[in-house]
Structure 1
Amino acid sequence: MSDYDKYSTPLSSRYASEEMSSIFSLRNRFSTWRKLWLNLAIAEKQVGLDVITDEAIEEMKKHLTITDEEIELATKEEAIVRHDVMAHVHVFGDVCPNAAGIIHLGATSCFVTDNADLIFLRDAYDVLIPKLVNVIDRLAKFALEYKDLPVLGWTHFQPAQLTTVGKRACLWIQELLWDLRNFERARNDIGLRGVKGTTGTQASFLSLFKGDHDKVELLDETVVKLLGFEHVYPVTGQTYSRKIDIDILSPLASFGATCHKMATDIRLLANLKEIEEPFEKSQIGSSAMAYKRNPMRSERVCSLSRHLGSLLNDAIQTSAVQWFERTLDDSAIRRISLPSAFLTADILLSTLNNISSGLVVYPKVIERRINSELPFMATENIIMAMVAKGGSRQDCHEEIRVLSHQASAVVKQEGGDNDLIERIKNTKYFEPIWNDLDNLLDPKTFVGRAPEQTEKFVNKDVKQALSKFEQFINSEDVKLAV
């Protein structure tokens, strides 16, 4: 049966990076199980279990990477014994005959399955964090480049006071900085289940070491250190607490919300023709409408962000229904939701890196939209200028109210341009400020401290947050295969 005749998830077959897909691959999973069995044996020997021989350990070291043939043999064995871990114990023992009798000694299945999952989750965060750092760095450069460019602000998607293109990007960056903090915290909180036995009591290991509690504790600590982790969870049932999965997926779900907001903003800006995502020379926007430049990358981000957010509920529900020391109804769903969450986050970051490295800004369109709304926003400035020339605030307010309604009618009922300023220039009452109107209508006077906020935020907050990740920052183009 051809691969084209079978369903495969688009997360791995279409979108995700090779490095992330590799982490959750079958070869990496089963090879990691072998690494765990090896380090358990090394630790048991170091702590004083004489039955573990140097020959056994050396033999295991030579066969850590599982071959295609061995995976196929384990699959056939699992069909017979109906137990994936024991199938791989048997196959590993076949290629390591000197170690066959001590592989998995004292352990329960969750020694390999749970510890391996925790290794994968930490490794997956190590893939995500550098990519997130680069998204932030690219957007920070964009923000500084456009920190002074006035743009119409929107509240309720209705015209509001001006901001700048750079300041708006800072709203995206700030949320991404929080995501970076959450990613790092979640990554560093990941420990190992360690060697805890069938119900977490370490009874089997206590038996192996003839009731020596100190040796059992040392064994737990040694395995964790050999695997490169800082800490082991002090108590477990048969599995590590599934609440840990909630803590691991929560930052990803929150990141999904950030992505959705940013991508939605870009989609709306594309409609306004003010800012667009990159559009390749040969890219086709529509099969029917040749002129279209659809924001397909941002639409992909929104689509996958919703999926990422939904996966957190899998972890919450699974954690809530675990009975006593464990049930097996966590297994199938975790095989789906944990890899899916990291594959999806990986795709989002690759896409955001592509978008953020090639955002296209159209200053003339932005200027035209500002000019269509600025006359209304400038009315307060005009009133203050008239008062400064000796006019009455109340009289000026009434004069400009009448003219504003007339100009609004031209825009809304006739489809014309906003001619409020021309009306002011043609109204004798406003003659004292005619020569001041250009200055009163300078968009840069309406953006408040947006440029200063942007510069300070990027040079202080962003720079400080990224300082320890400088080795990850690059300017490489991120190509999207499809």
Structure 2
Amino acid sequence: MPLPPARTPLAELSPTIALGSLDGRYRGAVAPLVDHLSEAALNRARLHVEVEWLLHLVQHEVVPGAPGLSEDERASLRALVVDFDADSIAELKAIEAETVHDVKAIEYFLRGRLTTLLAGSDADGGADDSGSDESGAARAEALGQLIHFACTSEDINNTSYALMVQGSVQEVWLPRAQALVEQLAAMARELADVPLLAHTHGQPATPTTMGKELAVLAHRLRRQLRRVEGAAYLGKLNGATGTYGAHVEAVPGADWQQLSRGFVEHLGLTWNPLTTQIESHDWQAELYADVARFNRILHNLATDMWTYISMGYFAQVRGQGTVGSSTMPHKVNPIRFENAEANLEVSNALLDVLASTLVTSRLQRDLTDSSMQRNVGTALGHSLLALDNVGRGLAGLDAVPAAMAADLDANWEVLAEPIQSVMRALAARGVEGMSNPYERLKELTRGRRIGQAELVEFVRGLGLPTEEEERLVALTPATYTGLAAELVEHLDRP
């Protein structure tokens, strides 16, 4: 068999071709997460933590005799984080190629920037508003010793990841999820009074309204969002084995626990006082479980909407300038909901393994968490993509009340339930002739369809009191919806 001709190596083309769908086909829907959960975002967060730790030590004069920093110098150091760009990324990459250690590369990067920043004071020839009359080089050398002072890499990484996940959830994922739930709630209110034949076990059952069914899903999703909104993002800074060993030996007189707590809370995180070398990641497991549960309910919504579309209860008419089928012109496939299903399943597979893996570490630590946490962006990315698809899917639907009404009119046997319930209530009040109501309705309706005429004839022959008889004769599947429409109002109550 002849060898195939040599192909152009796609991996060598420029611009770089994405390996995964999130950075390729679906980049537009998930791009905001790059600012929070990419490798570059991780390095920016690390730089942020290192800068703030240096400033924290200086501000509190933790190390006696160490130089201070002027207000302008503090602002310039913080600007390194704000202005972190492609050049910064490239420089860090070059440093890491030498250190073969990502956190150490951040330390050296910051040290170089600090030296450049303070070198200008040499030309001034005098003291500045930091209160120091040392040369810039001398100050840079002294202050450089406080960069990454008494820290283990995990002190920087755990707080960085907490900030990254916090930002991605609160600034990107949650607003998208909340908007989708409100979109669903608006549909529920709009369709609150539209009667719908319910199906239990796939069989015709007690009627409801489309609005009430959508409201159930909106209510479920909201509960999970409240849990996500209440998530705590924990951080620690306590050294190589969580004992403050190096801290205490270096500066015995400092209140290191209070300094650690103040620093972590200054970052906007919740302080974890008891850890090994690593922050235990339990908060991450809790958060990912809540997001995964939201995803599963959203998956339920997607499959229900797919089913309603297949039953003709919704028409896909708005914004459908797409090709539904490559060969069947009449088709408009419910691809938004199908795409959402697939992405929710991928997201949950990742969220589940994150939640189950991150809570375990061999003794003080191992590096499984380091590799595992690099998948958080992918996990949330597939969920974000699903939110986008469900939102666009819902926006392209129009309810078809006539189709729902037709199914209701074809299933008069669902009124067996209210009839036998009325008979039970009458029997409980001592009305004669109301015995065995369930069995009598079962004989009339099970395994066959009946129409309005047969049902009315049956009701007329039961010997009901006039008021109950007339009420049941007037009842139709479309009007047998109980409090369904009223229940939708719970979406607008605390």
Q: Given the two structures, how large is their TM-score scaled by the length of structure 1?
A: 0.80
Which residue matches 1:378? 415
Which residue matches 2:77? 60
Amino acid at match of 1:452: E
Amino acid at match of 2:268: G
CA contact (8 A) 2:319 2:396 kept: no
Whole-Å Cα distance in 2 between the matches of residues 397 and 11 of structure 1? 56
Offset of residue 382 of structure 1: 7.1
Does residue 484 of structure 2 align to residue 447 of structure 1? no
Whole-Å Cα distance in 1 between the matches of residues 374 and 317 of structure 2? 35
Structure 1 438/73 Cα, relative in aligned 2: closer, same or farther at 3 Å?
same
Offset of residue 88 of structure 1: 2.5
Which residue matches 2:186? 141
CA contact (8 A) 2:38 2:377 kept: no
CA contact (8 A) 2:410 2:451 kept: no
Which residue matches 2:242? 200
The percentage of counterpart residues that share the same residue type is 21
Amino acid at match of 2:55: I
2:58 to 45, 50, 55: 45
2:268 to 217, 228, 231: 228
Which residue matches 2:159? 115
Does residue 334 of structure 2 align to residue 295 of structure 1? yes
Per mean C-alpha deviation after superposition, the further-off stretch among 294-303 and 439-448 is 439-448
Which residue matches 1:9? 20
Structure 1 391/420 Cα, relative in aligned 2: closer, same or farther at 3 Å?
farther
Structure 1 399/226 Cα, relative in aligned 2: closer, same or farther at 3 Å?
closer
Structure 1 3/253 Cα, relative in aligned 2: closer, same or farther at 3 Å?
farther
Whole-Å Cα distance in 2 between the matches of residues 79 and 240 of structure 1? 27
1:217 to 235, 254, 257: 257
Whole-Å Cα distance in 2 between the matches of residues 397 and 126 of structure 1? 53
Per mean C-alpha deviation after superposition, the further-off stretch among 111-120 and 378-387 is 378-387
Which residue matches 2:234? 191
Structure 1 421/25 Cα, relative in aligned 2: closer, same or farther at 3 Å?
same
CA contact (8 A) 1:152 1:366 kept: yes
User: What SS class does the counterpart of residue 275 from structure 2 fall into?
Assistant: coil
Superposed CA RMSD in Å reads 3.5
1:384-427: per-residue Cα shift (whole Å, max 9, x none)?
99999x9977999999888768x94xxxxxxxxx6634567899
Whole-Å Cα distance in 1 between the matches of residues 114 and 55 of structure 2? 15
CA contact (8 A) 2:336 2:393 kept: yes
Offset of residue 376 of structure 1: 1.7
Whole-Å Cα distance in 2 between the matches of residues 296 and 281 of structure 1? 11
Structure 1 residue ranges without an equivalent (≥5): 409-417, 465-482
User: What SS class does the counterpart of residue 294 from structure 1 fall into?
Assistant: coil
Amino acid at match of 2:49: L
Question: What aligned pairs does 1:304-453 form with structure 2 within 5 A after superposition?
Answer: 304-319=343-358, 321-336=360-375, 338-373=376-411, 375-379=412-416, 408=448, 420-421=451-452, 440-453=474-487
1:160 to 205, 208, 211: 205
Offset of residue 57 of structure 1: 3.9
Amino acid at match of 2:18: Y
Offset of residue 81 of structure 1: 2.4
Identify the structure with the greater helix proportion.
Answer: 1
Per mean C-alpha deviation after superposition, the further-off stretch among 87-96 and 32-41 is 87-96
Structure 1 404/91 Cα, relative in aligned 2: closer, same or farther at 3 Å?
closer
User: What SS class does the counterpart of residue 238 from structure 1 fall into?
Assistant: coil
1:118-138: per-residue Cα shift (whole Å, max 9, x none)?
001111221322223222222
2:47 to 34, 37, 60: 34
Per mean C-alpha deviation after superposition, the further-off stretch among 139-148 and 13-22 is 13-22
Offset of residue 299 of structure 1: 0.9
1:178 to 223, 236, 249: 223
Structure 1 77/32 Cα, relative in aligned 2: closer, same or farther at 3 Å?
same
Whole-Å Cα distance in 1 between the matches of residues 395 and 452 of structure 2? 39
Structure 1 191/397 Cα, relative in aligned 2: closer, same or farther at 3 Å?
closer
Whole-Å Cα distance in 1 between the matches of residues 472 and 300 of structure 2? 36
Does residue 103 of structure 2 align to residue 85 of structure 1? yes
CA contact (8 A) 2:295 2:348 kept: yes
Which residue matches 1:413? none
Amino acid at match of 2:303: T
2:288 to 233, 246, 249: 249
If asked which structure has higher relative contact order (CA below 8 Å, sep 6+), I would say 1
Offset of residue 183 of structure 1: 0.6
Structure 1 384/73 Cα, relative in aligned 2: closer, same or farther at 3 Å?
closer
User: What SS class does the counterpart of residue 445 from structure 1 fall into?
Assistant: coil
CA contact (8 A) 1:85 1:109 kept: yes
CA contact (8 A) 1:242 1:315 kept: no
CA contact (8 A) 2:303 2:337 kept: yes
Structure 1 329/105 Cα, relative in aligned 2: closer, same or farther at 3 Å?
same
Offset of residue 251 of structure 1: 0.6
Structure 1 32/398 Cα, relative in aligned 2: closer, same or farther at 3 Å?
closer
CA contact (8 A) 1:167 1:454 kept: yes
Structure 1 384/63 Cα, relative in aligned 2: closer, same or farther at 3 Å?
closer
Which residue matches 2:113? 95
Q: Given the two structures, how large is their TM-score scaled by the length of structure 2?
A: 0.79
